[in-house]
Structure 1
Amino acid sequence: MKRQPSEFSLVIAIDKPSGMSSHDVVNRVRRIFGERRVGHTGTLDPLASGVLQVCVGPAARLDKYLVDHDKRYEVLVRLGVETDTDDALGQVIRTAPVPCQAANPHLAQEFLRRFEGFQNQMPPLYSAIKVNGAKACDAARKGRVLQLQPRPVEVYSLQLLAVEETEDGLFWRVACHVSKGTYIRSLARDIGAALGCGGSVEQLRRLAVGRLTEAQCVSLKQLEECGAEAALDPLALLGLRFLFADEHQEKSLANGGKLSARSPLYQFNGDPFRETVCACMPRIRASEEPLADGEVVAVVSGGLLRALYRFSQEKGALVPDCVFSQGVRRGRC
């Protein structure tokens, strides 16, 4: 049966509350918009709060272009306690005394530096990673342990914000800047293991995904009130160069045809989500740099994101990579 045109095609950012799964958020967004095609671009654990990027309607096809961005988190690591999920929602499986040096902020920061840089990270047993079609977390809940493989990630920086001591123990509050695919629960586990006392995540908040920060997010309650007005500009989120289709190119778009590689290209002047230094500075500027083979370019027509094209050196042209029969709304930035 032919899919009916959607009323909505847009990207939003939700400030996910702690205690909800990412799938719970997707279901709420489906109900708010009355749209089945809804997906997020990067799972947040139920314990975690913060930035969750969600695509609605035909815009759900953008997900694969939005998953490669770096991420920023603030995490509270509990030292001396290990759990089966590597966070506070799991069952405690081990406790141990915390070395007294861990209470020294200077030594703690030096210790954290050991975990910066490229590394092969073992994902948590309770994760959404699939092995032969089965999710690791689903298998773990049934008492089966899947054979997970370490994954290459990069930890750009770990900054100690505070050492906190309470009656529940010793905690490190850490700002993390990491590559896609990095598990903060794994970091907490590995930090605790290296200290010899174990560690787990007590609190976790995602602060940013690429250019998108918590400042651009809305709560689910706010989304119920403002609906499509919460839409963000997909051009700002994608971080790609873009072109404005002329009348001839619009016809090519409609037929999935090639576009000239000599089309004028544009890009944002700095971070589109931040205020410009000078009000007189234009928000976009011409981009003269030659196209690189395989580079993806966004195509704007009628004020909407209409397609993503990829430059083919062999064909000497831009060829369609993802064309939207119903363009994606360009919202706030």
Structure 2
Amino acid sequence: MTARAPRIRVQRRPVHGVLLLDKPLGLSSNDALQKAKWLLRAEKAGHTGTLDPLATGVLPLCFGAATKFSALQLHAPKTYEAIALLGTTTSTGDAEGQVLEQRSVDSAQLTDERLAAVQAQFTGPIRQVPPMHSALKKDGRALYEYARAGLEVERPARDVEIFKMNLALTQTGEAQAAIKIRVTCSKGTYIRTLGEDIGQALGCGAHLVFLRRIDTGGLGVERCITLEQLQAMDEDQRLAQVQPAQTLLAGHATITLDEQEAGRFLSGLRRRGPWPDAPAVAVYAEQPHALLGVGHVSGGELIPDRLLSPLEIQQILQGAPRADHITP
């Protein structure tokens, strides 16, 4: 019997910041996170919301102190590009499921005017019934667990919003009629369900054969790196790909506090100053210049919401190899 090779124990280290990953096809968000965490030898990590295994694109991964701000990306608008194959519906709403129904597609009926009408129908506030093949929970179990057991449970429709959408007629590699979808939407929008609903509105049914997230909260895919690229780098190059935690705070107003005020804020105390009301503020220490946390301003009071620990701030300052790792 061949002896099993000993497992290599990875020496973890504190890593603080955000890795903008271009998630590959076929990998779950958590699997992608674990691979990146292993490559960076990071102690603490989390992602900012799941992306289906059959989807690719922007997946911000948070490490260390940045995990405190990951929820901001959960609520951020997201932009996707998708292709829905017309004429075929599946059990999952994508190419992974079993074919449920096939209908003929009359491309002559898919005029620009027809597409514009359907586009208008699904733009703005809409209601969606979550798909059975999703991670949404009912009675403590994910819906996909019921689906795999052959069960369908009642799911209440949810309110979501489509901020912007464009539909265009296209073809797949097999010359089958399809719709190219580009959509910017709110949190909780299921693009598979949107593709199915668009197919239903066109009278022929549809399922997704391609899905790519190209932006989340202003973080575009052009800024992302792949796991293959990360793996090919040495350790210093990998760490250089980790952007500062404040990358997640681009939409926040900024306030800089002197040493005494920074210490009080960091201890959780409200501070009073000449600041206009603001729902989201990134707060920095003046010297040394460092992110302290986030808060909001109401009635001239700066109120802490999420704070970094003194140890996290010290590690960020000691480990930042470039000045742009600590500037807002």
Q: 1:86-165 counterparts in 2 under 5 A?
A: 86-164=93-171
Q: After superposition, give the CA deviation of every residue in 1:221-249 in whole Å (9 maximum; x if it has no partner).
A: 23332322112344343211011221112
Letter paired with 2:130 = P
Deviation at residue 102 of structure 1 after TM alignment:
4.6
User: Which SS does the other structure have where 1:18 is aligned?
Assistant: coil
Match of 1:195 among 195, 202, 207: 202
Distance 1:106 1:118 in 2: 22
Distance 2:106 2:65 in 1: 53
Q: Determine whether 1:246 maps to 2:232.
A: no
* Residue number in structure 1 paired with 2:92: 85
Q: Determine whether 1:47 maps to 2:59.
A: no
User: Which SS does the other structure have where 2:80 is aligned?
Assistant: strand
Cα gap change, 1:142 to 1:165, in 2 (>3 Å): closer
User: Which SS does the other structure have where 1:66 is aligned?
Assistant: helix
* Residue number in structure 1 paired with 2:283: 299
Distance 1:12 1:106 in 2: 42
Q: Is the 8 A contact 1:29 1:38 kept in 2?
A: no
Q: TM-score, length-normalised on structure 1? A: 0.82
Moved more, 204-213 or 105-114: 105-114
Cα gap change, 1:134 to 1:304, in 2 (>3 Å): farther
Match of 1:228 among 233, 236, 239: 239
Distance 1:28 1:304 in 2: 29
User: Which SS does the other structure have where 2:195 is aligned?
Assistant: helix
Match of 2:301 among 300, 311, 317: 317
Distance 1:234 1:99 in 2: 51
User: Which SS does the other structure have where 1:35 is aligned?
Assistant: coil
Residue segments in structure 2 that go unaligned for 5+ positions in a row: 1-11
* Residue number in structure 2 paired with 1:176: 183
Match of 2:211 among 194, 204, 222: 204
Distance 1:306 1:170 in 2: 53
Moved more, 97-106 or 238-247: 97-106
Task: Please tell me the root mean square deviation across aligned C-alpha atoms, in Å.
Answer: 2.3
Cα gap change, 1:6 to 1:246, in 2 (>3 Å): farther
Distance 2:178 2:156 in 1: 29
Letter paired with 2:290 = L
User: Which SS does the other structure have where 2:239 is aligned?
Assistant: helix
Moved more, 62-71 or 301-310: 301-310
Distance 1:199 1:70 in 2: 25
Distance 2:271 2:52 in 1: 41
Cα gap change, 1:14 to 1:78, in 2 (>3 Å): same
Distance 2:81 2:172 in 1: 17
Distance 1:132 1:298 in 2: 38
Q: Is the 8 A contact 1:50 1:206 kept in 2?
A: yes
Residue segments in structure 1 that go unaligned for 5+ positions in a row: 264-289
* Greater per-residue helix proportion: 2
Distance 1:146 1:305 in 2: 46
Distance 2:265 2:254 in 1: 14
Q: Is the 8 A contact 2:254 2:283 kept in 1?
A: yes
Deviation at residue 168 of structure 1 after TM alignment:
5.8
Distance 1:52 1:23 in 2: 10
Distance 2:74 2:172 in 1: 36
Letter paired with 2:211 = L
Match of 1:259 among 271, 274, 284: 271
Moved more, 59-68 or 75-84: 59-68
* Residue number in structure 2 paired with 1:13: 20
Letter paired with 1:306 = L
Distance 1:7 1:36 in 2: 5
Distance 2:169 2:241 in 1: 34
Distance 1:119 1:160 in 2: 17
* Residue number in structure 2 paired with 1:286: none
Q: After superposition, give the CA deviation of every residue in 1:246-291 in whole Å (9 maximum; x if it has no partner).
A: 111222134222222325xxxxxxxxxxxxxxxxxxxxxxxxxx21
Cα gap change, 1:61 to 1:93, in 2 (>3 Å): same
* Residue number in structure 2 paired with 1:26: 33
Distance 1:127 1:52 in 2: 18
Q: TM-score, length-normalised on structure 2? A: 0.83
> Matched residue pairs, number?
299
Letter paired with 1:122 = V
Provide the identity percentage: 32
